[in-house]
Amino acid sequence: TINAKVNVDGTEIMAKYNPKKDDPNLDDGRILQKKYAEEILQMLTTMGEKPCSVTVKQEKEQPPLPFNLVELQSYCEKKWGYSPSDTLKITQSLRDNYSAISYNRTDCQYLSSDQFNEAPDVMASVVKNINYKPKGMDMTIRSRAFDDAYVQGDGGAVAHLAIIPQQVEFDVSKLTASERNVYLAICQYYMAQFMPPAVKQITSFEMDTPDGASLKASSTKILEQGYRVIFRDAEEVELLP
C-alpha cells in the first residue's frame, strides 16, 4: 500500500494510491514487488502539481437493526470478548430468570407492526430499568426494523422476531456484570429504532496520476449525532445502577 501526503490549498492530507485495475504489475489487485512500488513512489514524488477534485456531500445514517442471535454474539465477542456460547448462556439467563428479553435464538432482525404499537409500553419499562432516556427519542418514529414484509414466511408469520427487551420491570442490580452488558446492548439497539438518523458530511478527494492511476482520500464528520448519542452516552456515563 502506497500513501502520499498531498497539499490542497494549504491543507495536508494523506491520500492512498489506487493503481489501475488492469495494471499488469499487480498480483490479485495488490502491489507485491518492492521495485515496482519504489518506481511508483518516485513518480509521485516528482510529478508536481496536478488538478484534483474535492467533493462534499451529506448523508443520513440510519440506526442499526435490532439484534438476532448471530449479530448479538458477534457484537459481544468484539466488545467484551464473550464467546458465542457465553452470549447464548447469558441471553438464556436473561429470559429464564428475569423474562427481560424476547426469544434469544432467533435469526430475524425485524419487528412487526404489532410490536411497534406495543413499543411505548415496552420503552417505559426499559427507561425505568436502566434509568436512561436519550434526548431526541420519539416513539412516533418508525424505523426500517418495523417491516411486516420481513416477518412473513412461506407458511405465514415468522415464529420469532428480533431480540428486544420486554415490558418487564426488574432490579437490574441483581444481574451479573455480563448480563448487564448484554441487556444494555439489547436495550440500546431497541432504543435506536426511535431515534432520528445521524447526519454525516463526507469529503472526498481524488487526483489523477501520470500513470493513469489515482490518489484518493475521504473523511467523515458527524454533523448531527441522531441515534449515535445512545452509544456515545454509554461510553461516557454509567447507565445502570
Report how far residue 163's alpha carbon sits from residue 122's, in angstroms, rounded to the nearest whole number: 13
Q: Which pLDDT does position 237 carry in this prediction? A: 47
Under 8 Å CB-to-CB from 107, ≥6 apart: which residues? 68, 69, 70
Report how far residue 122's alpha carbon sits from residue 118's, in angstroms, rounded to the nearest whole number: 6
pLDDT tens series, the chain, 241 aa: 999 999 998 889 999 999 999 999 999 989 999 999 999 999 999 998 889 999 999 999 999 999 999 999 999 999 999 999 999 999 999 999 999 999 999 999 999 999 999 999 999 999 999 999 999 999 999 999 999 988 875 555 566 899 999 999 999 999 999 999 999 999 999 999 999 999 999 999 999 999 999 999 999 999 999 999 998 866 554 444 4
Report how far residue 41's alpha carbon sits from residue 2's, in angstroms, rounded to the nearest whole number: 8
Report how far residue 227's alpha carbon sits from residue 229's, in angstroms, rounded to the nearest whole number: 5
The pTM for the full model equals: 0.82
If one counts every other C-beta atom within 10 angstroms of the C-beta of residue 125, the result is 17
Cell of 75: 457484537
